[in-house]
Amino acid sequence: MKFLHTADLHLGKIVSGVSMLAEQEYILTQITQIAEEEQVDALILAGDLYDRAVPPADAVKVLNDILVKWNVELGIPIFAISGNHDSAERLAFGSQWYESSKLYMKGKCTSQFDGIPFMDAEVWLVPYHEPAIIRQAFADNSIRSFEDAMQAVTKQIRSKWDTSKAQILVGHAFVSGGIPSDSERQLAIGNVDRVSTDCFDGFTYTALGHLHHPHAIRHPSIFYSGSPLKYSFSEANDHKSVRIVELEGKELISVTERFLTPKHDMRIISGTLAELTENLVENPDDFFQVNLMDEGALIDPMGKLRQFYPNILHLERKKQTLKETQDSFEEIMKKDDLELFGQFFEHVNGTELTETQKQKLADVFEQARKEDAE
């Protein structure tokens, strides 16, 4: 059995005001080609099909069209779940009809997880869920964390699975130790959204969504496919892919990356305004973050750059190298207003306050304190 694992399509996503929909259609066509070439037996979509709970109508059309292509026209079974960006209810609409053609779309977690028998395997769909959802569904008040919830779910699954078969879990979660990028939405403050890898002990292959780096974790049977496109400049150095997973009977025999080539790459380039406008970099219509290395004032650098690089998404000006003083809370509390402001000024401008500036600032603070006291 051979399947293709992808996730985090984020259809309808807008990056720096620019719709990614045309890029997404382009990459979906590439995924179709790979699925056909590889003659996969199934496709896995591990959540975040849309970028938001109420996606724009044209994103709805793109998802419908690609699912028709894969499932109806090419006859490929699909296992799909909702991610934290999707609306579980909206994605669940119609799922009762899809099953007849082996499109398994699970939007909402319920109290019962049932395996879907497929070739030599059982497939378990575990949509994104906050702990409260599982606490309520399982009527178990001891479930407080994401870890508790996933442990409870997989414990139930283990109590039901057929050990003579390969066990595939499709999930959408943040596994401890995983490397996030800037384009996932945080699930919780701090690290309480993490689940440990041992939640997935015993599964032949765990097909995850949520983290966008294709190698967000290293584990022999737990994989993020990564998003098929870069959605932030923190992913500029990623090479996006889909995973082709092969099983023989109940054994996992290979996990291959099939690389994707976007219509427009997302890249970071650096140089002075003169350098970048005199010697164009390759593929100047890619999506760029431009780090301008010029010092001092520039007149309309964005306007000048856009003539050559029409798809600049972000412009950064050179920063002086800063003293790497990460003050502790206690150290910060010891400093007075003037010192703190001085530090902020230096962080933003790259230069220290002059004596005149310091004096003026001291006057302002003095004045403010007086008014406060009155």
| Binding stretches for a copy of itself (CB under 8 A) | 53-54, 57-58, 60-61, 63-64, 68, 71-72, 87, 89-90, 92-94, 96-98, 100-101, 103
Q: Which is nearer to a copy of itself, 49 or 260 (CB)?
A: 49
Three-state secondary structure call for residue 46: strand
State the number of CA atoms in the 13 A half-sphere of 361 facing the CB.
14
Q: Which is nearer to a copy of itself, 106 or 240 (CB)?
A: 106
Q: What's the min distance (Å) between Cβ of 72 and a copy of itself?
A: 5
**Tokens read off for 254:** 């290979």
Q: What's the min distance (Å) between Cβ of 97 and a copy of itself?
A: 5
Give the helix/strand (H/E) hosting 61: helix 57-67
Q: What's the min distance (Å) between Cβ of 116 and a copy of itself?
A: 16
The dihedral sign for the CA sequence 157, 159, 160, 161: positive
- CA atoms of 260 and 257, how far apart (whole Å): 9
Distances (CA, A) of 78 to 23, 38, 367: 22, 15, 68
Are 184 and 172 in contact by the 8 Å Cβ rule? The answer is: no
Q: What's the min distance (Å) between Cβ of 67 and a copy of itself?
A: 8
Q: What's the min distance (Å) between Cβ of 79 and a copy of itself?
A: 15
Q: What's the min distance (Å) between Cβ of 77 and a copy of itself?
A: 13
Q: Which is nearer to a copy of itself, 88 or 305 (CB)?
A: 88
Question: β-pairing, 312-317 with 174-175?
Answer: unpaired
Q: What's the min distance (Å) between Cβ of 96 and a copy of itself?
A: 5
Q: Which is nearer to a copy of itself, 81 or 312 (CB)?
A: 81
Are 343 and 262 in contact by the 8 Å Cβ rule? The answer is: no
Q: Which is nearer to a copy of itself, 60 or 252 (CB)?
A: 60
Q: Which is nearer to a copy of itself, 97 or 344 (CB)?
A: 97
Distances (CA, A) of 84 to 53, 186, 187: 9, 9, 8
Radius of gyration of the chain (CA): 25
Q: Which is nearer to a copy of itself, 68 or 332 (CB)?
A: 68
Beta-carbon count within 10 A of 181 CB: 19
